[in-house]
Amino acid sequence: MPKITFIGAGSMVFATTLVGDVLSFDELEDSEIALMDIDEHRLEQTARVAESMVDNAGLDATVESTTDRVEALEGADYVLNMINVGDTEPFENEIRIPEKYGVKQAIGDTIGPGGIFRALRTIPTMLDIANDVEEVCPDALFLNYTNPMSILCQTLYDATDVETVGLCHSVPHTAEAISSYVDVPQDELDYWVAGINHVAWFLTAEHDGESIYPALREAMDDPDIYERDTVRFEMMRHFGYFPTESSHHMSEYVPYFRTDEATIEEMTGTDYAERMETATYLEGWKERSAHRDDPDMDVDLETVAPERSEEYASRIIHAVETDTPRRMNLNVSNETNAIENLPKDVCVEVPVLVDGTGVNPCSVGELPTEIAHFPRQHASIHRLVVEGALEHDREKIHQAVKLDPLTAAACTLDEIHEMTEELLAANEDHLPRLE
């Protein structure tokens, strides 16, 4: 009976999805579920749904909830982390302040000023959680869902002994998109993907042993299909490979698409139109956050039941507990040299084999030179952020922002310095000490 602890369980929809995933496996239906959040109201909502799942399905699982993190972690075999630190105000600062300087982010949670400062405000809490894990459940597998994935995981690799794996659904989501573009069933698409989180690439994609890339390039010439994924098709057109993150995300990670109004309009497309515009994600996030505070849950407690989603966490737990081999793309340390032409001291997203022996990264070899540049560039920025946070080095944070490609395309060095100082002042209460 594994104990599975959910940190940040007040994110009701996501947390209950992951609980349902776990309970959907017969071998895990007697799990001990520990839910933890600092927000009692949201935690209570999640607990009510989880308990109803167990009762309605007649399972042997137990559900406990607490605002005491150490209590939730005691004896845990798996820790699922999904925290958000700082709520709305710092997030809005991370979007609006760069916007004043011409840095037009769409999401701002992975790379760029938004990603860097989200990392800075999250790192202290992540380290506190990791310290508690080391104290009360040192053998637990820490499964992180919180962004920015690469920076946070790398921080834990550098500063703790916690076994950490990062989970993201961008690879299966991209596989789903590619399958629709070339009209093949998703479960028949074979692929090999590597890079860093949100900046990884479909190195191969095959159906019945044949590459689908010729069909994907042909599909790109169809205006209706092209408009569904403009930025990613342009990246494939110019660099040869299809990236793993959606067009509105990908547009933030490179300097080509968000600094010229005509280009922005051309790249807006259809499916992503509302999210290619600057910071529309912020407004949607604020609306969803307000809805999460609504005591009237959109859940029928009498009928809610475990259902399995596409998320990786339950599959990892099931694979380890039952020695069932599975392959999936996860975020791990490159200390095993999984990607040979990226540094060993970075977090990479690569194919991983999971079974009773644990999490075992596959060897990818070298990324093609034309696309290795992108993860290498951002990995250098991540390294500066991690070092800046752990060493309390303000200058390294400045340097990280100055190296960001979108920021550099929009601002002078002096403007970037001024913008970074403004961000440091605005979010000071949430940041680690920087000197």
Active site residues: 169
Going from the C-alpha of 154 to that of each of 14, 345, 380, 422, the distances in angstroms are 24, 8, 12, 26
Report the chain's terminal Cα–Cα distance, integer Å: 47
Tell me the C-alpha distance between 154 and 167, whole Å. Answer: 13
Which residue in the block uniquely carries the two structure tokens 């540094």? 343
Tell me the C-alpha distance between 114 and 100, whole Å. Answer: 13
Tell me the C-alpha distance between 196 and 204, whole Å. Answer: 16
**Residues 170 and 245: beta-carbon distance below 8 Å:** yes
**Residues 129 and 7: beta-carbon distance below 8 Å:** yes
Ordered DSSP codes for 192-203: EEEEETTEEEEE
Ordered DSSP codes for 322-384: HT--EEEEEEEEGGG-SBTTS-TTSEEEEEEEEETTEEEEPP-BPPPHHHHHHHHHHHHHHHH
User: Nearest Cα to 90, choosing from 278, 285, 381, 380?
Assistant: 285
Helix residue spans in 74-148 (DSSP H): 88-100, 112-136
Tell me the C-alpha distance between 198 and 246, whole Å. Answer: 9
User: Nearest Cα to 5, choosing from 101, 94, 104, 78?
Assistant: 78
